Structure 1
Amino acid sequence: MASDELDMSKSNPNRLSLQQPSLPWRMSSSLAMGLTAALSRGFLYGLNSVEVVGLDRFLELLDKRKDVENRQRGLITVSNHISVLDDPVIWGVLPLRYAFNPSNHRWGLGAHDICFKNKLIGSYFYAGQVLPTHRSQHSPHGGLFQPTIPQAIRLLSSPPFPTPLSEASGGRHDDNDDVSDPFSAGELTFTTTGTDRYVAPSTYARNRHSWVHVFPEACVHQHPRMLLRYFKWGVSRLILESEPMPDVVPMFVDGTQRIMSEDRTFPRFLPRFPVKFRVAFGELLDAEKTFGDLRARWRDLVRRDGGRLAMGELTDELKYGKEAVDLRIEVARRVREEVLKVRRTLGYPDDDEPGFELAETWAREPSKDRFKSNVDDSLVNKRE
């Protein structure tokens, strides 16, 4: 660790001791994100037709979050997933001044088997604020409770990390609770397999109340009418367990499925152009109105479970109990509905299919990497 990473904050006892990564790391991250955004922006606006809805209000939100010290909550953006190029191409619509400021840019969840297949590629993606995420179809380390999810929850929150509900405070949150927390106690890394090791980004105060982007469909899904699959429950964990409740902005993307269509032929690795690319940023949700009742039920469930755990860590009952599962299903359903509302702003009809929001609807699909779905005739790629 560089010495500037170990400076203690003497003025605020509640501030995490590690303020920011080393200068070389910050420079590497800014360069990786900035150059990637410049290429994405050049490709979009130089070779394609671009339409962006709601960009001004989204930039206004980002501008309000620029001062890290004054952020009050994290930010979750959530969208459909129609191409392996969705991230980073969609962020090419942001002016470049945002790209070179990683502390006010998105953290993403990237497939470990793609983004972290070797040290060189993994270093690039990690510098680009992508968290290594295992997918159950490709790794025994995948699933809803893998270590990356607590990292995302902590990034959306602010150190020090209290328990979800403190026993000592009778079920009330208290930032001064003495909590057994391996991160705030000085654990600077996390592992996703037991053998790999990554610096924990939530360790740094600079990353407090970060922005995390999620593709809850968790695989490329290309449907001719732009219908949605069910949303997986990782986004539910982020909304239920982060403190305080994060801001949520739904998005909808259209066009990258033509840039990298799943039925493209040789040369398959090359993007196609020109296409019409559209992205819509929805309104900032009234998160309390949309999810407040579910978070209240979650907190009551945690209280009744009696667990005193570090943020992002759960007992078996909070992982697998029926009430916990039902809450995650409902959160994911509501998030999906908000993305569908944004879809309508791009002119798509309100034609969601009954049952498409449920995981069991899609359980009869084949266990392959690439296939044409026997549920909705979409092209699916679970490798991307």
Structure 2
Amino acid sequence: MGRIMEWAGRPNHLGGLPRKTVIMAVGTFAKAVASLLNSTSVDNADTLLNLVRSRPPGVPLITVSNHMSTLDDPVMWGFKGFPTCNADLQRWVLAAEDICFKNPVLSYFFRLGKCIPITRGGGIYQEHMNEALDRLSNGDWLHTFPEGKVCQEDEPIRRLKWGTASLIARAPVTPIVLPIFHHGFQKVMPENYIFGKRPPIPLWKKDIKIIVGEPIEFDIPKLKQTALLTSKDLLPFQKYGWPPFGEMDEVAQRCLYIDISERIQSVLERLRILGRKPKL
């Protein structure tokens, strides 16, 4: 499959005006839903704001969160004080191709909104993952939902897909990885509202809670060495046909991506438990 309208995602497309227009419109919508129609509280917002606005030059940022509704992005960035309408500071995000890129009009719109199409089940080495790596190579901010699909139940964080871990490991400069847990979007956009379908518009007068964690540090060279050692003792398993990654074969890569994913999952689960505790 060829790249889907990648040209529309470039900042110089038509002088950048279409991107700025879409980001402004979507940002205004996010502000209205998060701050006017509903009540949104954010713990540790300054950590996120500082990393979005003033992280070291050339250092990419990956934010990771649970996935509670189709509105999580962009509405989770619509809280008071966040530069939601700034096209230069806005995130790139991995978006499901079968939902956001179903036709040329949607593809163009979501491309302008800094979305990268991802084919579910397409694997961590699918073509557009290279595009995500390009964004990280430029020092950009990328958001991912590593659970891979919406879950509106109050349950522990599910096992994460390995795509985010592979991006962290393969990026030329190791990204800053910031975990975020949110709750309440399942009430704003429930999956089973009327006859098993979502409501036509976001619901209102709901409470949204967002908990921003602290950056997770990954010593990638050390993790690679651990993965190489661990992989030597593993029995053969089904292979996916991954290309070599440096000196790492597919078995070692799998060990590396599992390790990184489990660390992120553990931190997200701690944030989830923290969010359930009532404030004194």
The TM-score, its normalising length taken from structure 2, stands at: 0.82
**Structure 1 residues 321 and 148, CA gap change in structure 2 (3 angstroms):** same
Q: CA deviation at 1:264?
A: 1.2
Number of the residue aligned with 2:112: 127
Q: CA deviation at 1:299?
A: 8.9
Number of the residue aligned with 2:64: 78
SS in 2 for 1:220: coil
SS in 2 for 1:104: coil
Q: CA deviation at 1:321?
A: 2.2
Q: Deviations over 1:55-105 (max 9, x none)?
A: 12221222214xxxx613110000000111111110111636x23332322
**Structure 1 residues 295 and 93, CA gap change in structure 2 (3 angstroms):** farther
Number of the residue aligned with 1:251: 180
Please point out which of 23, 30, 49 is paired with 1:33. Answer: 23
**Structure 1 residues 274 and 100, CA gap change in structure 2 (3 angstroms):** closer
State how far apart, in whole Å, the 2-side matches of 1:234 and 1:143 are: 8
Q: Deviations over 1:129-167 (max 9, x none)?
A: 00011112xxxxx2221111111122112xxxxxxxxxx
Which segments of 5 or more consecutive residues in structure 2 lack a partner in the other structure?
1-9, 231-241
State how far apart, in whole Å, the 2-side matches of 1:23 and 1:243 are: 26
Please point out which of 153, 156, 170 is paired with 2:133. Answer: 153
Q: Deviations over 1:15-43 (max 9, x none)?
A: xxxxx742625121122112101111112
Q: CA deviation at 1:293?
A: 2.5
Q: CA deviation at 1:107?
A: 0.5
**Structure 1 residues 230 and 318, CA gap change in structure 2 (3 angstroms):** farther
State how far apart, in whole Å, the 2-side matches of 1:106 and 1:254 are: 20
* Aligned: 1:269 with 2:200: yes
SS in 1 for 2:88: helix
Number of the residue aligned with 2:141: 211
Q: Deviations over 1:305-362 (max 9, x none)?
A: xxxxxxxx9339989722211211111111111212222331359xxxxxxxxxxxxx
Q: Deviations over 1:237-293 (max 9, x none)?
A: 1111001111010000100011122221157333222211011111123333xx552
State how far apart, in whole Å, the 2-side matches of 1:332 and 1:23 are: 35
State how far apart, in whole Å, the 2-side matches of 1:40 and 1:338 are: 26
**Structure 1 residues 252 and 277, CA gap change in structure 2 (3 angstroms):** same
Please point out which of 262, 279, 291 is paired with 2:210. Answer: 279
**Structure 1 residues 240 and 48, CA gap change in structure 2 (3 angstroms):** same
Contact 1:30 1:99 in 2 (8 A): no
Contact 1:108 1:131 in 2 (8 A): yes
**Structure 1 residues 99 and 338, CA gap change in structure 2 (3 angstroms):** same
Q: CA deviation at 1:232?
A: 0.1
**Structure 1 residues 314 and 95, CA gap change in structure 2 (3 angstroms):** farther
Q: Where does structure 1 differ by over 3 angstroms across 4 or more consecutive aligned residues? A: 295-301, 313-320
State how far apart, in whole Å, the 1-side matches of 2:222 and 2:16 are: 39
State how far apart, in whole Å, the 2-side matches of 1:57 and 1:317 are: 33
Contact 1:259 1:275 in 2 (8 A): yes
What amino acid is the match of 1:273?
W
The TM-score, its normalising length taken from structure 1, stands at: 0.61
Give the RMSD, CA atoms, in angstroms.
2.6
The higher radius of gyration belongs to 1
Which segments of 5 or more consecutive residues in structure 1 lack a partner in the other structure?
1-19, 137-141, 158-207, 302-312, 350-384
Q: Deviations over 1:176-198 (max 9, x none)?
A: xxxxxxxxxxxxxxxxxxxxxxx
Number of the residue aligned with 1:239: 168
What amino acid is the match of 1:85?
L
Count residues with an aligned counterpart. Answer: 256
What amino acid is the match of 1:275?
K
State how far apart, in whole Å, the 2-side matches of 1:92 and 1:318 are: 43
